[in-house]
Amino acid sequence: MAKIYTIILFLLLSLAPFGAEAATLSFSQSADSYSVGSTFSVGVYTGSSDQAMNAASGVVSFPSDKLEVVSLSKTGSIFSLWVQEPSFSNNGGTVSFEGIVLNPGFMGGSGKILTITFRAKAPGEANLSFTSGSVLANDGTGTNILTGLRTAIINIDSKSLPVGTPPAEETTSEGKAPTIASSTHPDQAKWYANSSPEFSWTLPLGVLEVRTLIGTSPKSIPTVSYDPPIGNKKIDTLPDGIYYFHLQIRTATGWGAVAHYRVNIDTTPPKPFSITFPHGTKGVLPQSVILFNTTDDQSGISYYNVRVGSDVAERVDALAGGNQQELPSQYPGMYIVTVTALDRAGNTTSASADFTIEAIDAPVITSYPEEVESGDIIKIRGTTYPNSNVSVLIKQDEKVVSEENTQSNGSGDFTLIITKRFDSGVYTFTARVTDARGARSNESVPLTIIINPKFLASVMTLILNYLSLIILILLALAAIIGIGISTWYRLSRIIRRLRREGREAEKVLEKSFNLLRKDVHAHVMRLKAVKDKRKLTTEEILFLEEFEKNLKEAENIITKEIQDVSRDS
């Protein structure tokens, strides 16, 4: 490609008229002074008022300790062809260019070659100059008509821009830059613990090509081309730092303006740190004081979370030079405090330390009632530290049912009168004290109070306890009596029926025997009548006598049994 440009240059020069006049290379800037961290543009121009020129080249020098090149732009350049694409080196502090203006060349006082966008790095004076350069006349022989290399002085003050200020989108005469969005890093001013950012944009109608670039310069020109064009891009893992994603879209009218999107990546947690106790790790005061501090190289410390044991964490703002925090008031005992440092990306580092709150002496109970009736006043006396708060915990089955408070006098004596009504049962109570400094004691040895029910309440309780049993007994007796009456009534009916039937049987039997006796008597009379005609045999006489005897005995036995049945019924 360079050979082709050289041939074209030769042909153009061979066709150009002869003549040589003065030409210059110079700089143009909008201001002489900028702040550290700001970006600004400097134009590189050529001037040839008396003679047309058709080629120019040069090397711009800048102090790399105070400036760095962000991007180079050819927008608005008088060059039609580039023998050497504009390039820069921030390490060497140089910008190089070489281009051609087609016939009839350029003639004028100010012809723009390119625009350099710098970022101010450090305060001081920065000089821009040309270390080499040439301007060739459009005279057919390529006469170097350069007679002057101008310089520029840029002052950089120490006032810095706020951290997190994203660069503004670049717009040109070609239209507004495309809008870039990121699902992983949606806010350009915030830090994220995600090292693989994703970007997306909307492709306009007629798009032909897309160029992208990711780097640390906020105004670079993208160089990675995609044809066919793409609408999203995911970047593989990046090191921690501030990066800029650059996007440019080409349509039939040419390349559009470049869009820039800032991402802030911090995957490294804050530096390890320790917790110290300026007043020691042991003491009777309930509120310990701790000191802690750490730093974060990338996003910086956002805040700290301070937690004692399993309590809810308390948020503490990060202060420059260290943080001192008074812990919440605690009862006597051993505790663990944990401090978690969070940077602006959400990375965390934690530190823990033990501390002990020592107890002062518990109150001494000197008088209390061992037994009271329900509803009676309970009076408790004791001694402790002067002018201190005494708290009495009343428990039943290890469950706190009441907490009563009183104040000791100047001599340390205290009296607690409890008017609250408690149900009957066995209760224990303990006492603890908080002195004027806030120091606390452990609970005293548990003491027992028995609360008995009153007499009327006892009677009512007895009645209620036994009434149900009495009612059950009465109901059982009533059931037994009812069953007995029913049974007696049924038996009486049976007995009456049996008596009635016995009398009826007796009458029937008597009637039957009468009939039988009558018939037998008739037969006997006939036998006796026969006696007058003939003499009865001995057997016949014995039969008659025996038959009358047996008949009489049978009648007596049956009559007696019927009478016995009637009498038993």
- For the cut 60, the answer to whether the pLDDT of residue 12 exceeds it is no
- For the cut 80, the answer to whether the pLDDT of residue 223 exceeds it is yes
- For the cut 60, the answer to whether the pLDDT of residue 150 exceeds it is yes
- Any idea which residue has 């150009």 for tokens? 16
> Binning pLDDT at 50, 70 and 90, where does residue 465 land?
low
Half-sphere exposure (Cβ direction) of 488: Cα atoms closer than 13 Å: 6
pLDDT tens across 173-199, in order? 345 789 999 999 999 999 999 999 999
Amino acid identity of residue 175, one-letter, is: G
CB 55, CB 136: distance < 8 Å? yes
- Any idea which residue has 């007629």 for tokens? 206
CB 239, CB 273: distance < 8 Å? no
| Alpha-carbon gap, residue 100 to 13, rounded angstroms | 11
- Any idea which residue has 């009563």 for tokens? 404
pLDDT tens across 545-554, in order? 777 777 777 7
Q: Which residue has the higher pLDDT, 481 or 541?
A: 481
Strand runs (DSSP E) across 6-93, as ranges?
23-29, 33-36, 39-61, 67-73, 81-89
pLDDT tens across 253-268, in order? 889 999 999 999 999 9
- For the cut 90, the answer to whether the pLDDT of residue 295 exceeds it is yes
- Reduced to 3 states, what is the DSSP secondary structure of residue 107? strand
- For the cut 50, the answer to whether the pLDDT of residue 219 exceeds it is yes
pLDDT at 569: 56
- For the cut 60, the answer to whether the pLDDT of residue 377 exceeds it is yes
| Alpha-carbon gap, residue 222 to 213, rounded angstroms | 5
- Any idea which residue has 């410390």 for tokens? 301
CB 379, CB 365: distance < 8 Å? no
In the chain, % of residues over pLDDT 70: 83
- Reduced to 3 states, what is the DSSP secondary structure of residue 434? strand
CB 383, CB 431: distance < 8 Å? no
Mean predicted confidence (pLDDT) in 521-542: 68
pLDDT tens across 485-500, in order? 888 888 878 877 777 7
The pTM of this model reads 0.49
Look over the chain and give the mean of its residue pLDDT values, rounded to a whole number.
Answer: 84
| Alpha-carbon gap, residue 104 to 100, rounded angstroms | 11
Question: Mean pLDDT lowest for which of 16-20, 32-36, 123-127, 350-354?
Answer: 16-20
pLDDT at 67: 92
Closest by CA to 392, choosing from 371, 414, 376, 370, is 414
CB 80, CB 54: distance < 8 Å? no
| Alpha-carbon gap, residue 268 to 238, rounded angstroms | 12
- For the cut 50, the answer to whether the pLDDT of residue 105 exceeds it is yes
pLDDT at 459: 59
- For the cut 80, the answer to whether the pLDDT of residue 333 exceeds it is yes
> Binning pLDDT at 50, 70 and 90, where does residue 28 land?
confident
Count of other CB atoms within 10 angstroms of residue 473: 9
- For the cut 50, the answer to whether the pLDDT of residue 61 exceeds it is yes
> Binning pLDDT at 50, 70 and 90, where does residue 31 land?
confident
Mean predicted confidence (pLDDT) in 80-102: 90
pLDDT at 367: 94
In the chain, % of residues over pLDDT 90: 47
Tokens describing residue 240: 């921690």
| Alpha-carbon gap, residue 529 to 202, rounded angstroms | 158
- Reduced to 3 states, what is the DSSP secondary structure of residue 327? coil
Amino acid identity of residue 568, one-letter, is: D
Closest by CA to 424, choosing from 464, 373, 377, 462, is 373
**Backbone dihedral angles phi then psi of residue 549, each to the nearest 5 degrees:** -65, -50
Half-sphere exposure (Cβ direction) of 249: Cα atoms closer than 13 Å: 23
pLDDT at 13: 41
pLDDT at 188: 95
- For the cut 70, the answer to whether the pLDDT of residue 460 exceeds it is no
